[in-house]
């Protein structure tokens, strides 16, 4: 399923966590690596640029973190990122340069590439968001199936199914993917580069790069 390959989704130069994807084919394969990767990388970060604020939590000195935000380790917050009021970072989170974590947004076991925006009441769990991906207000990644079965990634076009072997898989958003307000990305959703999702959509499976997902389930190719 080439459209879900790491190489098809992400510019790995746009994350401090590029090494986490080494030797892997699909992005969800990196989810088990996030915690240990942070614990290994954190102590090697330049102390002139990063400060260790608590156990396994490193924050770039240029990042803006509001006092009411909660940051649980392990976590790395990169240059010029902004973590706003009452954000809840539960741990195993890598937040890229100039990313925005908004009011009451919750993160858990995630890699956010540089320039990602999750600015308003979002939940992002067991997910990877590519360069400049954006989630509109109230949009969430659902990371566990209602029947608690292992997540399968389904290609809506080819019909191919890929077992992840994981109970918890959220969404994989390619570079510049844009999710409309109050949308739900079901477990195992993959949005290719420059995919747009209409507001209030319920999305499942792989949406290929350069397409628009409309909230009636229609998928059309972008014309701009």
| In the chain, where the domains are located | 2-221
pLDDT tens per residue, range 113-153: 999 999 999 999 999 999 999 999 999 999 999 999 999 99
What value does the mean pLDDT take over residues 12-27? 97
Cα 112 to Cα 132: distance, rounded to the nearest angstrom: 9
Burial (Cβ within 10 Å: 0-12, 13-18, ≥19) of residue 8 = middle
Superfamily of domain covering 2-221: Hexapeptide repeat proteins (2.160.10.10)
pLDDT tens per residue, range 77-107: 999 999 999 999 999 999 999 999 999 999 9
Token pair recorded at residue 94 = 């890598």
Cα 219 to Cα 43: distance, rounded to the nearest angstrom: 45
Exposure string for 62-86, b = 16+ CB within 10 A, e = fewer: ebebeeebebbbbbbbbbebbbbee
């Amino acid at each position: 399923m080439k459209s879900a390959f790491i190489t098809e989704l992400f510019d790995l130069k746009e994350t401090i966590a590029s090494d986490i994807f080494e030797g892997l084919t699909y992005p969800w394969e990196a989810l088990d690596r996030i915690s240990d990767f942070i614990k290994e990388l954190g102590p090697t970060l330049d102390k002139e640029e990063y400060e260790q604020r608590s156990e396994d939590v490193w924050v770039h000195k240029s990042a803006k973190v509001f006092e009411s935000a909660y940051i649980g380790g392990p976590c790395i917050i990169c240059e010029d990122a902004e973590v706003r009021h009452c954000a809840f970072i539960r741990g195993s989170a890598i937040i890229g340069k100039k990313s925005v974590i908004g009011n009451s947004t919750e993160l858990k076991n995630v890699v956010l590439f540089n320039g990602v925006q999750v600015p308003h009441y979002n939940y992002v769990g067991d997910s990877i968001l590519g360069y400049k991906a954006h989630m509109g207000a109230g949009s969430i990644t659902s990371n566990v199936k209602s029947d608690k079965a292992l997540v399968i990634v389904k290609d809506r076009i080819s019909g191919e199914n890929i077992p992840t072997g994981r109970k918890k898989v959220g969404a994989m958003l390619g570079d510049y993917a844009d999710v409309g307000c109050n949308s739900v990305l079901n477990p195992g959703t993959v949005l290719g580069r420059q995919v747009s999702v209409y507001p209030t959509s319920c999305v499942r499976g792989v949406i290929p790069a350069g397409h628009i997902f409309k909230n009636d389930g229609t998928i059309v190719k972008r014309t701009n």
